[in-house]
């Protein structure tokens, strides 16, 4: 079974969805370690409550931080990485070491509304539908090959909190689904842009 690392920065509900799915036997990969750039993140305590090993890596210097992460990932024999509400931008060093093996969850239908506060961006723009996206991480921010997406409606009178909560449960769904596809070797990046999803086991 493949194993993966989860990177977090905050409350960690996406991470928790993965840990819960693993506990319930619904995840076909093993969460080997949670890495947080903040020691006091709510997600750190949550990971502990699931018995997941946690490492805190301060991110003052990105190069040093990524060097430390690479050591941890090697020690734990990690096959791939999931960014689950991780708010630091990775450099080509870590991205290159795990090419097409880093997944990110984003709370909008990329390429619309990249970066931070994607739900507020959607409300300010006035779109009727937004959603969430899982994608592979490349050197461009939120610009990598798309894996899965879900469409979520925006309602009149929505606040950022209401819309974020509506999107979040779909984030959890597609993140679990994407990890399972990754674990089963079902994702192929064809040309650096398009992802083919293989539903049969490949030779």
Q: What gap in Å lies between CA 199 and CA 28, rounded to an integer?
A: 15
14 contributes a contact to ligand GAR by CB under 6 A:
yes
Q: Applying CB under 6 A, does 110 fall inside the site for ligand GAR?
A: no
Q: How far is the CB of 120 from ligand GAR (least distance, A)?
A: 11
Name which of 107 and 195 has its Cβ closer to ligand GAR. 107
- Residue window 125-154: x/- pattern of binding to ligand GAR, with contact defined by CB under 6 A: ------------------------------
The Cα–Cα gap between 17 and 34 comes to 13
Stretch that binds ligand GAR, among 8-16, 60-68, 155-163, 194-202 (CB under 6 A): 8-16
Q: Please, where are the H alpha helices in 62-150?
A: 62-75, 92-97, 118-125
73 vs 84, which CB is nearer to ligand GAR?
A: 84
Residue 180, SS3 per DSSP: helix
Interface with ligand GAR (CB under 6 A), residue from 22, 101, 106, 135: 106
Q: Which pair of structure tokens corresponds to residue 60?
A: 């003052």
Residue 69 in contact with residue 57, Cβ under 8 Å? yes
**Residues 22, 100, 106, 135: which is the catalytic one?**
106
CB atoms within 10 A of CB 95: 20
Based on the residue annotation, tell me whether 106 is a catalytic residue of this protein. Answer: yes
Q: Which stretch binds ligand GAR (CB under 6 A): 54-62, 101-109, 154-162, 178-186?
A: 101-109
Q: Does residue 90 contact residue 102 with C-beta atoms inside 8 Å? A: yes
Q: Mutual orientation of helices 13-23 and 42-49 as an angle, nearest 10°?
A: 10
Q: Does residue 82 belong to the site contacting ligand GAR (CB under 6 A)?
A: no
Strand partners, 133: 106, 149
Binding region for ligand GAR (CB under 6 A): 10-14, 84-85, 105-107, 116, 118, 168, 171
């Amino acid at each position: 079974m493949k194993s993966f690392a989860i990177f977090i920065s905050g409350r960690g509900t996406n991470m928790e969805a993965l840990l819960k799915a693993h506990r319930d036997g619904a995840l076909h990969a093993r969460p080997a370690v949670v890495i947080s750039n903040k020691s006091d993140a709510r997600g750190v305590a949550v990971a502990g409550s699931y018995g997941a090993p946690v490492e805190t890596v301060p991110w003052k210097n990105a190069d040093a931080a990524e060097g430390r992460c690479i050591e941890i990932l090697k020690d734990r024999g990690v096959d791939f990485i999931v960014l689950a509400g991780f708010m630091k931008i990775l450099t080509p060093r870590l991205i290159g070491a795990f090419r097409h093996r880093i997944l990110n969850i984003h709370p909008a239908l990329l390429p619309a509304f990249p970066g931070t506060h994607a739900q507020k961006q959607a409300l300010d723009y006035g779109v009727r539908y937004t959603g969430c996206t899982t994608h592979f991480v490349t050197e461009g921010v939120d610009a990598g090959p798309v894996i899965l997406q879900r469409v979520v409606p925006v309602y009149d009178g929505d606040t950022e909190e209401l819309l974020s909560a509506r999107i979040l449960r779909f984030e959890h769904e597609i993140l679990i689904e994407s990890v399972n596809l990754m674990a089963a070797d079902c994702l192929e990046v064809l040309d650096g842009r398009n992802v083919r999803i293989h539903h049969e086991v490949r030779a």
